[in-house]
Amino acid sequence: MERRSFLSTAALAVAAVASTSSLHAIGFEPVPSGGKHEVPALPYDFAALEPHIDAQTMQIHHDKHHAAYVAGLNKAEDELAKARASGDFSIVQHWSRQAAFHGGGHWLHSMFWKVMAPAGKGGGGEPTGMVASAINDSFGSFDAFKKQFSAAAGSVEGSGWALLHFRHDDQRLIILQAENQQKGSSWGTTPILGIDVWEHAYYLKYQNKRPDYIAAWWNVVNWSQVEANLNSMYKK
């Protein structure tokens, strides 16, 4: 549990109030004690999100990009363990940054796969119940939320994410950007929904038309999973 708690804190920068079980619920796969991080299986086929996200993009994104973040996180943690063993911390800054970048990538992609589902079969539409209430409370309306989130996604400079976070201290929802996999995030918040706007997430199908990809992505948002993610935030 100590290792798991450390990993949660270091890689995810979540508030102490978020329990390990709640992190697991939103995509974080705890590693066995002493084990390595692993790429989680997609909960659907590569082609399941067609026509909104094409199969080739999904395959490369999951099997190559996500796998590289997992490898990078494992590498960074190995190197930090070596540094502790040798007492040589001369490049601890490098590996700390690598742990944040690759750890952020691993965690965000693990969430990303789960908050999507085939259009019309769990994906798309509008949230109901507690998610609809939380969005209305925090943004005024679903339409206002959707516009702000789309604008945030469209305006990420370079590679990154738009993320809907649960803020633990006042239990409100906020929208933040994350450049790369980690920069621009805040403290005491946990993402419960996010869209990857790295070019690798859309370029094969949409080329430079990021707004078209964002508009299509709403058709595959799995609001039931977002509700599960939000619900897990309230459990201590």
Closer Cβ to Mn ion, 69 or 223, answer by number: 69
The C-alpha atoms of residue 207 and residue 76 are separated, in whole angstroms, by: 32
Closer Cβ to Mn ion, 142 or 203, answer by number: 203
**Contact, 172 vs 137, CB < 8 A?**
yes
Position 203 contacts Mn ion (CB under 5 A): no
Tokens of 209: 């038309």
Closer Cβ to Mn ion, 196 or 227, answer by number: 196
* Nearest distance, CB of residue 101 and Mn ion, angstroms: 12
Closer Cβ to Mn ion, 198 or 203, answer by number: 198
Task: Choose the binding region for Mn ion from 46-54, 129-137, 159-167, 189-197 (rule: CB under 5 A).
Answer: 189-197
Task: Choose the binding region for Mn ion from 22-30, 77-85, 155-163, 191-199 (rule: CB under 5 A).
Answer: 191-199
* Nearest distance, CB of residue 54 and Mn ion, angstroms: 14
**DSSP β-ladder status, 172-179 and 189-196:** unpaired
The C-alpha atoms of residue 100 and residue 92 are separated, in whole angstroms, by: 12
Closer Cβ to Mn ion, 24 or 65, answer by number: 65
Closer Cβ to Mn ion, 104 or 123, answer by number: 104
Residue 228 neighbours by CB under 8 Å, 6+ apart = 25, 26
* Nearest distance, CB of residue 189 and Mn ion, angstroms: 20
Angle between helices 210-217 and 142-154 (to 10 degrees): 150
Among 198, 203, 215, 224, binds Mn ion (CB under 5 A): 198
Residue 197 neighbours by CB under 8 Å, 6+ apart = 153, 154, 156, 159, 160, 161, 162, 210, 213, 214
Among 196, 206, 216, 225, binds Mn ion (CB under 5 A): 196
The sheet carrying 189-196 orders its strands as: 172-179, 160-167, 189-196
* Site for Mn ion, rule CB under 5 A: 196, 198
